[in-house]
Amino acid sequence: MEDSSLLKEVLAKAQTWLNGNYNEETKKDIQRMLDADDKTELIESFYRDLEFGTGGLRGIMGAGTNRMNIYTVGAATQGLSNYLKAQFPNVAQISVVIGHDCRNNSRLFAEISANIFSANGIKVYLFDDLRPTPEASFAIRKLGCQSGIILTASHNPKEYNGYKAYWDDGAQMIAPHDENVITEVTKIKSIDEIKFEGNPALIESIGEEIDAAFIEAIKTLSLSPEAIQRNSDLKIVYTPIHGTGVRLIPRALRAFGFTNIINVPEQDITSGNFPTVISPNPEEPAALDMAVKRAMATDADIVMASDPDADRLGIAVKNDKNEWILVNGNQTALLFVYYLIRRWKELGKLKGNEYIVKTIVTTEIIKQIAERNDVEMFDCFTGFKWIAAVIRENEGIRQYIGGGEESYGFLPEEFARDKDAVSSCAMMAEITAWAKDNGKTLFELLQDIYIEYGYGKEKGISVVRKGKSGAEEIIQMMKNFRSNPPKEIAGSKVHLIKDYDSLKMTNVSTGEVSVLDMPATSNVLQYFTEDGTKISVRPSGTEPKIKFYIEVRGEMKTRAGYDAADAAANQKIEAVRASLGV
């Protein structure tokens, strides 16, 4: 579409909002954009409709069809209401939970949504204030609700907000419900179809009673209470990075028995502006900078951080040189799985039907740990809704131990169905205490895992290709990888190829082709080489980039060999990059 025709379309959509039944604040904002000489903001706000995708809504806040505001949120809630009423005709009182994080407008969007649900005859359990995402998932299950929503944009910058929809098991929706809700939302063509006038009789405030139940459930996860008792004064630096974790994570740590929780006062301040960080993402070193400095000043044992909606966990530990280093998401998942399986085994809890879950791009060392201990492992697509789907399928058949992904999410329980930094923080503190009880630091425990199962290192690389030509180049890159797969990578022969778009797995040496047992297709390719290297390739669904996930393997026989193993892994990663041309 040419710029002139795009601007003409945008002006027409903006005029519809000016003439429509929108509030004055919205109309003033639109008029301001119309009056501006530079029409960039106007175009960005109206050039498309903000899509209700399979993960819900996420976007920059402001007026317009491509922005998060009370009208786009309203259309989503009305569409979800319509779908719930169609899906549960025999339920006397359909009910939902509404949670929200610390972001600007999150409370407003939560209250608007409560009014719309109630106007449609749906009972609403509205949290009285901000709460972690996993607690809202827990509440859906505990209160027997049919659905729920959470207003959050996770770790996105402060300009963003989002809307995540959940089903009756407390998990994010998958097929067919995700696509069906999208269909209902797209049917809403006018804000006059949205029932904004709420029914207060159907809105119930919830809070402390759910908090207490959630904490009591988390307490049952503890596997080493004696180790905690002996190390109750473990020095734990924790930061919520201005988010919802401030409410429950210190409480969960205390419930486990930890008494020496060191906060970062500047970041305990709840704020959607995230004033002390550029990005409130615990994956980024800068977000943990203040907490690490606090740890240095107090000679702490561990640093833990949660993102704004408290579903992701980032940690930092001291290495063998007494330097503070960040532990990546793969290593965090590795520590959880190793500890959980080992303690379940030591306590006689393994009965033969236990399992763990990881995403396909997460470290393969987890698979080795599971296999060696006769625990079944399931691989699933990226995103915690897929881990929750595996839990749902195995309910009443197998016993879930834990599941995680390389992007800093872990779930050590079944009573919530989304990644959970509240229980994960408590469990990671317990792992640190257990390691200390066994004469180890957390870093030494990680080294010992590598000694037992082999060293592994992961590297994520994103190749950006902007614009229409960039999108076409990414499509062509994926076609080339499929039609001309590499025969070797960094000098090691490719022996296995997994194509999740066709759901076919090819054994290169024998030519045997088998079917991958997955619930859906996904545009992901994986190559496995004879030396243990794994390469995953996929286009980003939200950004103009193609992503490469590299995992290389090596040997490490002693703790003293860590640096050499790490250096060798870095060399191998560079060789892989050269082979792939990225």
CA–CA gap between residue 281 and residue 418 (Å, rounded):
18
- CA distances 547 to 9, 469, 539, 579, 582, Å, are 34, 17, 6, 15, 10
- CA distances 292 to 238, 303, 555, 561, Å, are 10, 7, 30, 26
- CA distances 144 to 95, 139, 164, 169, 266, Å, are 8, 8, 18, 9, 38
Tokens of 92: 């006397």
Report the SS3 class of residue 58. Answer: strand
**Residue in 95, 154, 224, 522 annotated catalytic:** 154
CB 45 within 8 A of CB 62: yes
Angle between helices 133-142 and 208-219 (to 10 degrees): 90
CB 100 within 8 A of CB 139: no
- CA distances 279 to 161, 274, 540, Å, are 14, 8, 20
Tokens of 251: 């409480």
Tokens of 405: 């992904």
Q: Which residues contact 465 (CB under 8 A, 6 or more apart)?
A: 471, 473, 474, 544, 545, 546
At 541, which amino acid appears?
A: G
The 10 Å CB-count burial string (b at 16+, else e) for 548-577 is: bbbbbbbebeebebbeebeebbeebbebbe
CB 79 within 8 A of CB 188: yes
Tokens of 304: 């833990």
What are the φ and ψ backbone dihedral angles of 472, each rounded to 5 degrees? -70, -35
CB 511 within 8 A of CB 529: no
Tokens of 177: 């419900």
Annotate 371-436 with DSSP letters as a single string: HHTT-EEEEE-SSHHHHHHHHHHHTTTSEEEEEEETTTEEE--SSS-S--HHHHHHHHHHHHHHHH
CA–CA gap between residue 73 and residue 96 (Å, rounded):
16
Active site residue 154: yes
What are the φ and ψ backbone dihedral angles of 374, each rounded to 5 degrees? 55, 40
DSSP letter for 332, please. Answer: H
> What residues are labeled active site?
154
